């Protein structure tokens, strides 16, 4: 599939989005062309594509605008859950480009350990009252729905998932707009629920099944897409760094920055790390497609490796591009800021290291 049109739109709006504007123009183009329904099944009017195509789209977008790529990443993660457990009308709306969704897992109390829900769901006749404090929701003011986690209504399981319309009385997004270090246009805000009433029928999966859906569906989708967002950011960092180094002269010496062997070595390291990341991302998708024995390990590794490598590549980009990199015209400082998010978005890199270590040592993850 050719995603150039959307990449160019994302590039056109990237600076404005970095100032905190939601990437509406690019999302509208994706919606109009049916690409917000890229992973929706054909039976509901979607494109019927899978994780590999979604990964290719977010990687291409990330080369131009990390915020736009992350909004689309979260929408696809939510869509994967809605496709498996959600109602037909919402599935059709997503496929038709009329519905944007996102994940509302992280909570003020359990922080990055998103698989533990402290918010509650209390039965009231045919309805449920949701209460809780979410610490971050991408697209918080723009999504039509949130895939929302809470404690189960009954039982001691870790969580239950609900498809909550954003415009639900009792749901309140924080007043202050998102003003973060990076991904500044992705509208990541806290939100609270105070006895927010939703029909019990908006439950996604069984009561208490949230943890299984998070680990079985959301984690693979999020890890792979996040790893591809990181790969896109790295590719952009390499391209822009090479262009700056090759095109910037020491006039007194008649040489370019790229004539310095140290600089060329840094750029080589950036290229190698980027290609290693892409290779691991590709192998993760291959493992998933073939249901290989090492699939779970690859899924865990992909986000940890990509997030870490992206941090290293953007550090090198800032170093090679020198003082000029501190200003916006070289175009690497936005990538430097955007790339930091992967390290702390759940499952965080350090949580993934713990999971991978446990998997390698033959210990249960939880
Ligand atoms: C731009 C952005 C967008 C986001 N969008 C969403 C969204 O749409 N939906 C959503 O649900 N969440 C979202 N998040 C939240 C994200 O997934 C994490 O929950 C959040 O970044 C964690 O921040 P914290 O301050 O709570 O981390 P903390 O939990 O306080 O972590 C602090 C440190 O402790 C480490 N740590 C924590 N637990 C362990 C452990 N078990 N082992 C080892 N180390 C550990 C962490 O790795 C980190 O280094 C977003 C975050 C960002 C930055």
List for the chain the helix, strand, coil content (%; round to 5).
55, 15, 30
- Please state the atom number of ligand 1 nearest to the C-alpha of residue 106: 11
Pairwise CA distance, residues 170 & 187, whole Å: 20
pLDDT tens-digit map of 101-146:
999 999 999 999 999 999 999 999 999 999 999 999 999 999 999 9
Say what the pTM is: 0.98
pLDDT tens-digit map of 326-351:
999 899 999 999 999 999 999 999 99
Q: Are residues 356 and 257 in the same domain?
A: yes
**Interval between CA 352 and ligand 1 midpoint (Å):** 12
Question: For residue 118, what pLDDT is reported?
Answer: 97
Question: For residue 79, what pLDDT is reported?
Answer: 98
Specify whether the CB–CB gap between 85 and 205 falls below 8 A.
Answer: yes
Listed residues 206, 237, 267: the one ending a domain: 206
Q: What is the CATH number of the domain that holds 91?
A: 1.10.540.10
Q: Are residues 219 and 181 in the same domain?
A: no
Q: Are residues 231 and 332 in the same domain?
A: yes
Q: Are residues 123 and 67 in the same domain?
A: no
User: How many separate domains does the chain show?
Assistant: 3
The helix or strand, by DSSP H or E, that contains position 47, with its residue range, turns out to be: none
Cβ of 328 below 6 Å from ligand 1: no
Q: What is the mean pLDDT of residues 308-323?
A: 98
**Interval between CA 154 and ligand 1 midpoint (Å):** 27
Specify whether the CB–CB gap between 55 and 282 falls below 8 A.
Answer: no
Q: What is the mean pLDDT of residues 18-22?
A: 98
Residue 222 in any domain: the answer is yes
Handedness of CA 222, 3, 28, 233 (dihedral sign): positive
Range of the domain at 32: 4-100
Pairwise CA distance, residues 68 & 62, whole Å: 7
Residue 322 in any domain: the answer is yes
pLDDT tens-digit map of 172-217:
999 999 999 999 999 999 999 999 999 999 999 999 999 999 999 9
Listed residues 153, 182, 206: the one ending a domain: 206
Cβ of 348 below 6 Å from ligand 1: yes
Pairwise CA distance, residues 199 & 330, whole Å: 51
Nearest CA to ligand 1 atom 45: 351
pLDDT tens-digit map of 242-258:
999 999 999 999 999 99
At 123 the three-state DSSP class reads strand
Question: For residue 152, what pLDDT is reported?
Answer: 98
Of 133, 346, 349, 363, the residue with max ligand 1 atoms within 8 A of its CB, to mutate for a pocket test, comes to 346
**Interval between CA 243 and ligand 1 midpoint (Å):** 34
Q: 219-247 and 261-289 helices cross at what angle (nearest 10)?
A: 160
* 3-class SS letters over 5-30: HHHHHHHHHHHHHHCCCCCHHHHHHH
Residue 153 in any domain: the answer is yes
Specify whether the CB–CB gap between 288 and 295 falls below 8 A.
Answer: yes
Q: What is the CATH number of the domain that holds 117?
A: 2.40.110.10
Q: In what order do the strands lie in the sheet containing 171-173?
A: 120-124, 127-137, 189-199, 171-173
Rounded (5°) CA angle 16-19-23: 50
Residue 261 in any domain: the answer is yes
Pairwise CA distance, residues 46 & 54, whole Å: 13
């Amino acid at each position: 599939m050719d995603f150039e049109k959307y990449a160019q739109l994302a590039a056109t709006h990237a600076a404005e989005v970095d100032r905190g504007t939601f990437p509406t123009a690019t999302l509208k183009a994706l919606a109009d062309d049916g690409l917000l329904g890229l992973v929706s099944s054909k039976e509901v009017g979607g494109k019927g594509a899978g994780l590999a195509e979604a990964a290719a789209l977010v990687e291409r977008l990330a080369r131009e605008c990390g915020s736009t790529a992350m909004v689309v990443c979260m929408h696809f993660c939510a869509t994967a859950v809605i496709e498996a457990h959600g109602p037909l009308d919402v599935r059709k709306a997503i496929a038709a480009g009329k519905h944007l969704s996102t994940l509302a897992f992280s909570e003020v109390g359990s922080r990055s350990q998103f698989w533990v829900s402290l918010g509650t769901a209390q039965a009231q006749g045919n309805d449920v009252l949701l209460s809780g404090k979410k610490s971050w929701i991408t697209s918080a003011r723009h999504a039509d729905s949130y895939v929302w986690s809470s404690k189960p209504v009954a039982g001691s399981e870790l969580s239950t998932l609900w498809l909550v319309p954003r415009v639900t009385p009792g749901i309140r997004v924080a007043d202050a707009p998102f003003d973060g270090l990076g991904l500044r246009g992705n509208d990541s805000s806290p939100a609270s629920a105070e006895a927010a009433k939703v029909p019990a029928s908006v439950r996604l999966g069984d009561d208490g099944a949230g943890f299984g859906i998070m680990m079985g569906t959301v984690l693979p989708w999020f890890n792979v897409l996040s790893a591809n967002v990181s790969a896109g950011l790295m590719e952009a960092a390499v391209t822009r760094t090479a262009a700056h180094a090759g095109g910037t002269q020491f006039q007194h010496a008649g040489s370019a920055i790229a004539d310095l062997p140290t600089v060329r070595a840094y750029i080589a390291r950036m290229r190698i790390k980027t290609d290693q990341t892409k290779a691991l991302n590709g192998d993760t998708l291959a493992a998933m497609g073939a249901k290989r024995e090492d699939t779970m390990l690859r899924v865990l590794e992909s986000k940890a490796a990509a997030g870490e490598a992206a941090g290293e590549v953007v550090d090198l980009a800032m170093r090679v591009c020198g003082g000029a990199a501190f200003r916006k015209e070289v175009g690497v400082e936005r990538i430097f800021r955007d790339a930091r998010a992967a390290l702390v978005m759940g499952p965080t890199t350090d949580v993934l290291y713990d999971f991978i270590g446990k998997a390698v040592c033959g210990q249960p993850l939880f």
